[in-house]
Structure 1
């Protein structure tokens, strides 16, 4: 790329490409630009880590130790490249960047599908968080209060999912992503503690078969926690290094899912105080490398501990016979509750764009609602005449309230209905995660940069073809994984 067109030339003037042929300084400063490098890394890392970390040992168990390690490196590198492509695309729309605004200057008629994919992915992750709460809290309750009657409402997953929804309501109604930077730091501490548990009980295993509390056995029989392994640890866990089977593709989306934080990168880009490319590169590289290291450690230690018996929620496999494990399970509950709003933010924005597009489709015969209306064009031209396109405005208070409430209710109902974490992560990973991790970054960058090089008579760089290749790989990955999930 031509750095003269894209990057800041000095420390005081931030240049953004708001037109395919023109560079102008970004003079718009607002109170929304509060994100620092550290807070942005924390926010992006917290979006990255979560359910995928709990399922990573199971992902290694499905692919084998060595192949799993390679998969983490490959999919981590792919996610990093996708994030970089999106931030380069963001220079076309400046601090109004979103998947919607980018689709409006590339494939306006398909923008509804772009935002629908993002909303599905974020909604699916939110559901997985509530499922984790429902799985772990009955175990925590019995660990803390072993005399709790087995028929108590405190041992039902529905009760704790309800409590989780009530807790996240204040956080879910926050309008700014950077407002979550403090809670994001707390949830990262929970991630570190999970790391400690998995590593510690791999290095210092104990035989819990004789120490399982009677209440936990009752809980297992009641099928509240069907994944409890009362024989932890196995004497000789079965470890394989390479596994080649069609079942491998069922769990392959977990690797994609684990590195998906792309739904929040444009919001992070918009809110950064200094969003020059070198600072953005620092944020995305730090977040992905941090995630890769943690996934390697947790995945390897967890798989080596349980072998082929590894389940999709690694923390639920440790019996609650130790306060260390109890606190770890409680920490994971706190982490997913605090991470829920990070999925709510992009889900709500994307749904707003979906509804906006539906309204335009219904009013297709009205020229003012056409796909190429002047308001949409203003995103490209960077008009400073005071006119703002409808989709770049903040969501009205009334719409914001009802959309947030609807997402909360729907995720609550679905979480109470679905009990298996692994299948949720696989489906979400194969659809929404693959779309926003590989397909959209590759497609958007290819379209924008190809048009820009043609208008400026510049030679196309190899990055354009790399982006196209990433788009094709994403399509193939989605088709193969979905077929494996639903047909095998």
Structure 2
């Protein structure tokens, strides 16, 4: 679940981040960001054990009072909800193109708005109806299994698109701080750290430490392999969605696009679950002593899903989502609040 929550839409923007940070600075910065992210995951659980609270919002409330509680819930909504929007945007960039290519006799399937609404209601919404994030573990395995397919298609086909001129391997790029925001977005999954800790069979600090090191290491390896290959093949011309650099009629790349679509469908709930929880807490539906009723649970789920889907239909720029979410909320959730809680 942690790998699935981490390696989401953010991975597609990492070649773009490398181009903006500079090749060597980008790789070094990604290591620092990943290490700090792992430390944040570990510190959150340690802090939770100290105060006996395994809810991020309640933990911050213990530290900063009621204003901190609502501040955190707002940040989680921006981070996790923004992540879900970015997953939908990637879905909208991929599936309609595939349908246009392979099912041209059904032009409605090539309409981005129709596909997002149809797939959202038919495939994504049912996954969000459960109360427990642990129910997604089985689906997360399928989602993570799609990642090697995505990487292999990029690895095999990207060299064919590489320009003849030499790709610059610069130490420092034009926008290091902007790149850091994208990286922070790519490695932030702290809003689901405590719920995932509670799903472990062995809920010890040592087990959680090993889990976070392993999951962060796997996430970094997958993400930076993707980033380096993408940058070395497209250089400064790389787009915020790497797949947009490839032709729409490339059959192998389209296999990667399909795998990406499946992965995004199964990853969207990882953004919606914590967003829903934050909203339920702010509305008073969920407290330390009570859980939302079925009516409250399903109402918040459907309304939240509709808002996220509506934003996804309206917003087409993945780079815009990266910049807003990464720079605004990811750094707060992944680094500032875990350190303060610890």
Please indicate the TM-score interval, normalised by the length of the shorter structure. Answer: over 0.9
For this pair of structures, how many residues does the alignment match?
A: 340
Query: Is 1:200 aligned with 2:156?
Result: yes
Counterpart in 1 of 2:213?
285
Normalized against structure 1, the TM-score is what?
0.67
Deviation (angstroms), 1:392: 4.5
Alignment partner of 2:135 out of 159, 166, 179: 179
Distance 1:65 1:416 in 2: 33
Deviation (angstroms), 1:264: 0.7
Distance 2:238 2:306 in 1: 32
Deviation (angstroms), 1:164: 2.5
Structure 1: gaps (5+ residues):
1-42, 207-231, 360-388, 446-488
Counterpart in 2 of 1:434?
331
Matched position secondary structure for 1:185: helix
Deviation (angstroms), 1:249: 2.3
Matched position secondary structure for 1:106: helix
Give 1:174-253 correspondences, 5 Å limit. 174-202=130-158, 205-206=159-160, 232-236=161-165, 238-245=167-174, 247-253=175-181
Give 1:161-172 correspondences, 5 Å limit. 161-166=116-121, 167-172=123-128
Alignment partner of 1:255 out of 183, 186, 193: 183
Distance 2:176 2:204 in 1: 40
Counterpart in 2 of 1:311?
239
Deviation (angstroms), 1:143: 2.6
Which runs of at least 4 in structure 1 moved beyond 3 Å after TM superposition?
389-392
Give 1:75-474 correspondences, 5 Å limit. 75-94=33-52, 96-109=53-66, 110-145=68-103, 147-148=104-105, 152-166=107-121, 167-202=123-158, 205-206=159-160, 232-236=161-165, 238-245=167-174, 247-356=175-284, 390-445=287-342
Query: Is 1:54 aligned with 2:9?
Result: no
- Confirm or deny: 8 A CA contact 1:353 1:391 kept in the other structure: no
Normalized against structure 2, the TM-score is what?
0.94
Distance 1:92 1:352 in 2: 25
Distance 1:241 1:55 in 2: 18
Alignment partner of 2:27 out of 69, 76, 84: 69
Distance 2:146 2:201 in 1: 28
Counterpart in 2 of 1:366?
none
Distance 2:11 2:169 in 1: 20
Using CA pairs under 8 Å that are at least 6 residues apart, name the structure with larger relative contact order, 1 or 2: 2
1:203-248 Cα shifts (integer Å, max 9, x gaps): xx33xxxxxxxxxxxxxxxxxxxxxxxxx33222532322343x33
Alpha carbon RMSD of aligned pairs, Å?
A: 1.7
